[in-house]
Structure 1
């Protein structure tokens, strides 16, 4: 993977992680959804700034991913964006004070190892 391709990958991953962050913040602002407030929650999505920012981040991440796909095989790009999972767990831990169990830590290390093996070139 060239430096330009790696930059597109990182841009896609970081934009997606940013999207998840803002969607979580927006979801916390909305509160829990249940049968009685589901319609109002759905309508509130377009008026909650954090949710709009989160969706915009996802769109930017998708654009970066599409640009990456013009340069890299899907068999490399697809698994590589799974780094979003790793950064999302770290974001949950550091920002939202979520716990990371040992089994989740093992899973994250397997993801990172898998990505390294997929992008590794001789």
Structure 2
């Protein structure tokens, strides 16, 4: 069925099949940076939602919170989806920032600018 906006959206559980087997990567938080390691153009066989994330996270990557905002998905399902992409070797994530880095005003400004663009 189509939603109010007239578009179909795949349910998150359908995009995260590997989560049921208990082999999910840990350590991804809203402060983690996610970067694409697979070529988005060669990954045409994967779901559109995955392709969109791969395209967003090319280059230096994005914070998980920024990915969530740009794809219009709540944070928890976004983290689960990113864990699935890590498990498939399509993206990698860096450890969350230290407390000192997370309070770095320049980093926070860059994050805000990124969210405003999205």
Give the TM-score normalised by the residue count of structure 2: 0.26
Higher strand share: 2
- Of the two, which has the highest radius of gyration? 1
Higher helix share: 1
